[in-house]
Amino acid sequence: MKTIATALVYGVLVVGMLGRSAHAEDVKAGDLVISKPWTRATPGGAKIGGGYLTIENKGSAPDKLVSATADVAGKVEVHEMAMNNGVMTMRPLESGLAIDPGKTVKLAPGGYHLMLMDLREPLKQGEKVPVTLQFEKAGKVAVTLDVEGVGAQGPAAAPGSDGMKMDRMDHSKMKM
Ligand SMILES: [Cu+2]
């Protein structure tokens, strides 16, 4: 019976891994865990795109996302969104994005994001975009953004997740 139980456990693990294979895996770098890296397909001719991901600091010391690079982009900046006289605007975080110990920082539409600038080619849904993040302590970390649809508000929902219930706030009026 023990063998059967063990086989079942392994079976579940294998199925679990297969189920996840369509989505980017979490990336561990030192005390940081980076998950759900994604971006949006860019409509024809667009020269900029956003990059989104979640960074968790499991350590006891602060770290900082200072910069990023991508082959597909001439330049990548770390941006934040902020209300400015009632208009949502964005600006580069010149001194980087702090990831405090024990904290999770989410880069998502409407908030912090990577700005992929001077795109050399359009980002197409279903493609994967390699990006290298540069952290103050964790150093260089390679991640791969899953390209979702043009209007996506989050990474594609994994089976059983509640990704479809995310709010559908209209970002189209934001000043980019
Ligand atoms: Cu931006």
Residue 117 lies in a domain: yes
29: pLDDT strictly greater than 50: yes
The pLDDT assigned to 16 comes to 47
CA–CA gap between residue 90 and residue 111 (Å, rounded)? 9
Residue 14 lies in a domain: no
The CA 117 to ligand 1 mean position distance, Å, reads 9
31: pLDDT strictly greater than 60: yes
Is the CB of residue 123 less than 8 Å from the CB of residue 129?
yes
CA–CA gap between residue 27 and residue 34 (Å, rounded)? 5
Please compute the mean of the pLDDT values over residues 102-113 and round it to a whole number: 96
Residue 82 lies in a domain: yes
The CA 115 to ligand 1 mean position distance, Å, reads 5
161: pLDDT strictly greater than 90: no
Residue 115 lies in a domain: yes
Residue 87 lies in a domain: yes
Residue 39 lies in a domain: yes
4: pLDDT strictly greater than 50: yes
Residue 10 lies in a domain: no
Residues spanned by the domain of 72: 26-153
pLDDT digits (tens, 9 = 90+) for 41-98: 998 889 999 999 999 999 999 999 999 999 999 999 999 998 888 888 999 999 999 9
CATH number of the domain where residue 40 is located = 2.60.40.1890
Residue 90 lies in a domain: yes
166: pLDDT strictly greater than 60: no
Number of structural domains (the chain) is: 1
- Which tokens in the block code for residue 89? 């605007």
The CA 145 to ligand 1 mean position distance, Å, reads 16
The pLDDT assigned to 156 comes to 80
